[in-house]
């Protein structure tokens, strides 16, 4: 976990960052409202389903409000805490240069670009991402980071890396940290190591900040701040630094932006050819007086089945057993309705568990479960950090129904958006190549 904070610029303190403070307050208030149900530790599922951005809904105008509401929703306490630290730490300086309205335009347009990038890179991120709710201000904040890089590349950042809660602190240049961070987003995206984080949304927001800053920068304000800086440099700095990003930093940034362009070209070419089947199933489960219902995503790609992570414990137990018994996907059962009555052992998490099942299950043309209901009596696993073991037996009643089905990226303008995102990348490359025009401070 990394925490960084830029050194203050006394030249900008006179202009209070009211918009940044307002955005922080708005995000915190929204988080308090949406997480109250869970003791402020995480957002409630109902708010996520209502306001998060879901790429598969992009073609439906009645869901376009999610493009904005998702920027104010956060998954848990750590998510909003670190987002707000970065927003305030970097945003107040960018706002002081741009002014309130230009800063707001940069913030929200970067957030929108982040969502566009997230959608455009679905062929790389995976078909699951088209249906998984995405939320958080990270994309918009990434735009602020991109703008900060052009304005203050030589600023010293105080950084702390937490190693088992022990802070290891040091100082580095803003350009080094921000370029490294941008590279990690792209690398994690291409290697599939994002761990459920929309890293291409982060990259897209950062690109947006680089591309938008030259269009929004008030030149007269910049010149005034530069004069102030030069005067201070003349009187106090014996060895003034060379302004702008170094040639090496520019080369790395351009290479990273070209890597994003190449990825966008790949997505534009492959998106129309995708033939994977993605089904959203609503599974409802009852046990011990508890009723649970959850939408799960089932992906069938060239005969291989994948199921999205499941939060509800009862739903997870039922789905895991049905999958272990080969009843979520059964190609021989395509287009058929089965009456199932069995009692056998199945392997879950590598451990044999007993399952007794009475159910009627319907399958679609691909052999994926379409609907069904029944009852299940099964061994329950109790899992810890060290492994899982059988810890008892429980009876579940369940039902399943199809919420939606899509083939490839049907109904999502992935190819079109992939071509579109090349434009801000090219504009960002042009901005990087003339970065010295935008820098204010160099230390």
Q: Which two tokens stand for residue 164?
A: 């088992």
Q: What is the pLDDT of residues 314-360, one digit of tens each?
A: 999 999 999 999 999 999 999 999 999 999 999 998 889 999 999 99
- Is a pLDDT exceeding 50 seen at residue 234? no
- Is a pLDDT exceeding 50 seen at residue 442? no
- Is a pLDDT exceeding 90 seen at residue 4? no
Alpha-carbon span 374 to 402, nearest angstrom? 16
Alpha helices in 194-283 (DSSP H): 199-216, 219-236, 247-270
Radius of gyration of the chain from its Cα atoms, rounded to whole angstroms: 25
The pLDDT of 266-282, averaged and rounded, is 93
- The dihedral through the CA atoms of 294, 299, 304, 308 has a sign that is negative
Residue 238: pLDDT band (50, 70, 90) is: very low
Interacting residues of 354 by C-beta distance below 8 A, sequence separation 6+: 343, 344, 345, 378, 379, 393
Residue 13: pLDDT band (50, 70, 90) is: very low
What residue has token string 């929004």? 216
Residue 390 CB burial class (10 angstroms; 0-12, 13-18, ≥19): middle
- Is a pLDDT exceeding 70 seen at residue 196? no
Q: What ranges do the domains of the chain cover?
A: 2-273+410-437, 277-407
Interacting residues of 69 by C-beta distance below 8 A, sequence separation 6+: 50, 51, 52
The pLDDT of 389-401, averaged and rounded, is 92
pLDDT at residue 228, as a whole number: 62
Q: What CATH number should be reported for the domain whose range is 2-273+410-437?
A: 1.20.1540.10
Q: What is the pTM of this model?
A: 0.86
Q: What is the pLDDT of residues 127-185, one digit of tens each?
A: 888 888 999 999 999 999 999 999 999 888 776 666 666 777 778 888 999 999 999 99
């Amino acid at each position: 976990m990394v925490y960084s904070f830029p050194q203050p610029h006394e030249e900008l303190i006179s202009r209070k960052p009211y918009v940044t403070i307002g955005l922080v307050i708005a995000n915190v208030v929204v988080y308090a409202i949406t997480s109250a149900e869970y003791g402020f530790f995480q957002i409630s599922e109902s708010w996520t389903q209502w306001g998060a951005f879901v790429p598969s809904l992009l073609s439906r105008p009645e869901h376009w409000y999610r493009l904005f509401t998702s920027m104010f929703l956060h998954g848990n306490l750590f998510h909003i805490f670190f987002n707000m630290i970065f927003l305030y730490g970097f945003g107040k300086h960018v706002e002081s240069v741009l002014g309130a309205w230009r800063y707001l335009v940069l913030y929200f347009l970067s957030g929108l670009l982040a969502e566009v990038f997230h959608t455009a890179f679905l062929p790389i991120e995976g078909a699951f991402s088209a249906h998984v709710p995405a939320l958080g201000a990270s994309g918009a904040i990434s735009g602020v980071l991109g703008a900060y890089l052009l304005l203050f590349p030589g600023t010293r950042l105080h950084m702390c890396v937490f190693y088992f809660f022990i802070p290891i602190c040091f100082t580095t240049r803003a350009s080094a940290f921000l370029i490294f961070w941008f590279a990690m987003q792209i690398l994690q995206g291409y290697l599939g190591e994002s761990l459920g984080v929309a890293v291409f949304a982060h990259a897209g927001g950062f690109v947006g900040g680089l591309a938008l800053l030259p269009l929004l920068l008030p030149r007269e304000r910049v010149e005034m701040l530069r004069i102030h800086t030069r005067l201070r440099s003349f009187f106090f700095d014996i060895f003034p630094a060379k302004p702008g990003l170094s040639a090496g930093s520019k080369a790395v940034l351009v290479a990273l932006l070209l890597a994003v362009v190449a990825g966008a070209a790949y997505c534009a070419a492959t998106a129309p050819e995708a033939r994977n089947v993605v089904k959203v199933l609503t599974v409802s489960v009852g046990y011990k007086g508890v009723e649970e219902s959850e939408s799960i995503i089932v992906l069938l790609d060239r005969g291989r089945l994948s199921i999205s992570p499941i939060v509800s414990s009862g739903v997870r137990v039922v789905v895991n057993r049905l999958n272990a018994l080969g009843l979520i996907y059964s190609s021989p059962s395509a287009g058929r309705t089965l009456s199932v009555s069995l009692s056998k052992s199945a392997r879950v998490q590598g451990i044999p568990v007993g399952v007794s099942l009475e159910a009627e299950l319907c399958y679609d043309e691909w052999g994926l479960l379409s609907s069904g209901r029944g009852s299940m009596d099964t061994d329950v696993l109790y899992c810890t950090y060290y492994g899982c073991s059988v810890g008892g037996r429980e009876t579940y009643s369940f039902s399943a129904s199809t919420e939606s089905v899509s083939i490839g990226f049907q109904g999502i303008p992935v190819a079109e958006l992939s071509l579109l995102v090349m434009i801000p990348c090219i504009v960002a490359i042009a901005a990087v190549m003339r970065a010295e025009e935008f820098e204010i401070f160099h230390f």
